[in-house]
Amino acid sequence: MVAIVEAAARKTKPGSSRRYALLMAVHDSEYVLKRYGGYLHVFVAAFGDDDAGEEWDMYRAIDGELPSPGELVSYDGFVISGSPHDAYGDDPWILRLCGLVRELHAMRKRVLGVCFGHQLICRALGGRVGKARAGGWDVGVREVAIVAAAAADDAKVPCRFLDVMRQRHQLPRRAKITEVHQDEVWEVPEGAEVLASSDKTGVEMFRVGEHVLGIQGHPEYTKDILLSLVDRLLTAGSITGSFAEAVERQLETTAPDREFWLRLCKSFLKADDEEHVWL
């Protein structure tokens, strides 16, 4: 069973075999609260393991809440969510989150960044991020090329979480993923390896060693969450009606390879588990 713990009532559960922290960089939307009970439940449903006795805690990083230095050692992994904010911004909470990423990197703790989280990790570790050079929003389902599938022998550092998937023939050369972003990684940190790219975004996924992974898309998003976001972007004037209609038409015939992306994220977060039972 997965134990889901809010920040205000955080407590280690007896018998928990693994512990993860979700660092939320976005406030829950009305839709996600009503449909799923909040983004915490969305992430745990996507990346958690009901049979592993896991515990997932949430810290609202966007509100300045982060784990204390003494708490970091107790976690097996950290996930940084997407956000409507720019990862290259200088808001105090963003700068604090960058500092935490550098600390986790020094500790060799597993850190998975999604969209904003992907970009923030890049910035924190010395890479460059900014507005998408192709211009405008990238919203919908996009196919990306998995570089690691073709260049396994050329990897700079061994990569167990990908090797396990490759050995089981679960690492395709191309895969579709849900995208909602207008910023991107311009240049990965020194020593990082680009693992995936698309015709619109040069860095769709990258890793640093075996403990840091950034993914530009949203493995955790369901179709209804994406459609809700499209409605919100349209209402806010961020996209046009014709753009929204095009996304909706695409979703009628195209779906992301969500099972693959969830398997990849779980393989990364739980790579220290030699049994790899989630695969």
> What average pLDDT does this structure show over 143-149?
84
Asked if 186 contacts 133 with a C-beta cutoff of 8 angstroms, the reply is: yes
* % of the chain with per-residue pLDDT over 90: 78
What's the average model confidence in pLDDT over 13-18?
A: 62
Query: Given pLDDT bands bounded at 50, 70 and 90, which one contains residue 6?
Result: low
Whether residue 212 has pLDDT greater than 70: yes
Instruction: Find the radius of gyration of the CA atoms of the chain.
Output: 18
CB 213 within 8 A of CB 109: no
Sign, CA torsion 38/245/215/165: positive
Q: Are 59 and 22 in contact, with CB atoms under 8 Å apart? A: yes
Query: Is 187 one of the annotated active-site residues of the chain?
Result: no
First to last CA, the chain: 17
* CA 45/CA 47 separation, integer angstroms: 6
Identify the CA nearest to 218 among candidates 146, 112, 127. 112
Please give the CATH number for the structural domain made up of 19-270. 3.40.50.880
Sheet holding 77-80, edge to edge: 3-5, 55-59, 19-23, 77-80, 110-114, 212-215, 205-208, 193-197, 138-146, 174-181
pLDDT of residue 279: 45
Say if residue 278's pLDDT is above 50: no
Higher-scoring residue by pLDDT: 6, 97: 97
How open is the CA angle 65-68-74, to the nearest 5 degrees?
115
Domain ranges of the chain: 19-270
Nearest alpha carbon to residue 205 among 250, 253, 161? 161
Question: What pTM was estimated for this model as a whole?
Answer: 0.91
Is 122 tagged catalytic? no
Which of 65-74, 155-164, 210-219 is predicted with the least confidence, judged by mean pLDDT? Answer: 155-164
Parallel, antiparallel, or unpaired: how do β-strands 138-146 and 174-181 relate?
antiparallel
Query: Residue 124 — very low, low, confident or very high, per pLDDT cuts 50/70/90?
Result: very high
**Given the residues 105, 118, 181, 218, the one annotated as active site:** 218
The angle at the Cα of 193, spanning 191 to 199, to the nearest 5 degrees, equals 140
Residue-level pLDDT at 277:
39
- Looking at residue 2, its pLDDT comes to 58
CA–CA distance, 17 with 173 (Å, rounded to integer):
33
| Active-site hit among 122, 210, 220, 265 | 220
- pLDDT score, position 150: 47
Question: What digits encode the pLDDT tens for the residues 216-235?
Answer: 999 999 999 999 999 999 99
What is the predicted pLDDT for the residue at 31? Answer: 97
Average pLDDT over the chain reads: 90
CA distance 213 to 269: 9
218 assigned to active site: yes
Categorize the per-residue pLDDT at 276 as very low, low, confident or very high, splitting at 50, 70 and 90.
Answer: very low
47-104 residue pLDDT tens = 998 777 899 999 999 999 999 999 999 999 999 999 999 999 999 999 999 999 999 9
Per-residue confidence (pLDDT) for residue 50, from 0 to 100 = 74
- How many helical (H) and strand (E) elements, i.e. helices and strands, does the chain have? 10, 12
Residues 6+ away with beta carbon under 8 Å from 58 = 4, 5, 6, 7, 21, 22, 24, 40
DSSP letter string over 22-54? EE--SPPPHHHHHHHSSHHHHHHHHH--TTTT-
Q: Which of 42-51, 188-197, 209-218, 231-240 has the lowest mean pLDDT?
A: 42-51
Mean pLDDT lowest for which of 13-27, 41-55, 177-191?
13-27
Give the pLDDT score at 119: 98
Q: Which of 54, 115, 118, 193 is catalytic?
A: 115
| Average pLDDT of span 100-125 | 98
